[in-house]
A = this chain, B = another copy of it.
Amino acid sequence: MDKQDKHKSICRKRKEREKKQRIQSILDAAKKVFASKGYLKSTMDEIAMAAEITKPTIYLYFKSKDDLILSLMQPLIDDSRSRLEIVEKELLSGAIKNGRDLVTGIFQAFYHGYEILPETFRVVQLFQQKDLICELRPEIRATLDENGRGNIDLCRRMLARGIEMELIKPVNVYEMVDVIWALIVGVIQLEDCKGDEQKDHRLKKKTLDLAQRLIVEALTRNAEQVI
């Protein structure tokens, strides 16, 4: 019996491993297809083809096309998170000595997600406009919510701490985080629809740099209040 149980559990483990691999291969395929054709123009059949399976198999693991893309977003959120945490550590340890470095750190943490996965990042935005955040695998929805919110919270804490430390002027941190996020999303969106791939990145960078400088400028004059 003992032997049998062992056998069972070994087989189960293999199965689970295979399942994970299958899910991963679907995600990889989806990433490729989305990246090459964009979310809206990509079809589930194409993704299935790329993953060397058929469409219904995808639906075994993902509730919908939206669920699929949102599952891709998780690593992106994680990336921002880890970058923000580094900035926070620097802030708490005193390595960050002025408002400029703090604001720049936050900007870059968010922006980096776009640099590593532009297409996925773009889709995050699409989702905000459509009313499609429903109909997701609850797990994904939950983690997405939690982590997204987590990043924002972390960001707010850092700004609040920055204010305490008098690195930046007192502002409403809730609104402030929104403004930073809005700027990044807005600039990327704007430049995406203008540029032709090549100059694109440079333009975005320049515009975003200006945005960053303005925010720093506005937040770091120690004399006056913004509010």
Q: Chain A residues in contact with chain B, CB under 8 A?
A: 38, 40-41, 122, 125-131, 133, 171-172, 175-176, 178-179, 181-187, 189-193, 206-207, 210-211, 213-215, 217-219, 221, 226-227
Q: How far is the CB of A210 from chain B (nearest CB, A)?
A: 4
- A210 touching B176 by the CB < 8 A rule? yes
- B40 touching A130 by the CB < 8 A rule? yes
With A38-B131, A131-B38 as known contacts, state yes or no: A179 contacts B185, CB within 8 Å. Answer: no
Question: How many Å lie between the Cα of A210 and that of B180 in the bound state?
Answer: 11
> Given contacts A129-B192, A179-B214, could you give 19 more A-B pairs where the C-beta distance is less than 8 Å?
A38-B130, A41-B131, A128-B192, A128-B193, A129-B129, A129-B189, A129-B193, A172-B206, A175-B210, A179-B187, A179-B210, A181-B186, A182-B189, A182-B190, A183-B211, A210-B226, A214-B215, A214-B219, A214-B226
Question: How many Å lie between the Cα of A143 and that of B178 in the bound state?
Answer: 33
* CB-defined contacts of A182 to chain B, threshold 8 Å: 182-183, 185-187, 189-190, 207, 211
Question: How many Å lie between the Cα of A182 and that of B184 in the bound state?
Answer: 8
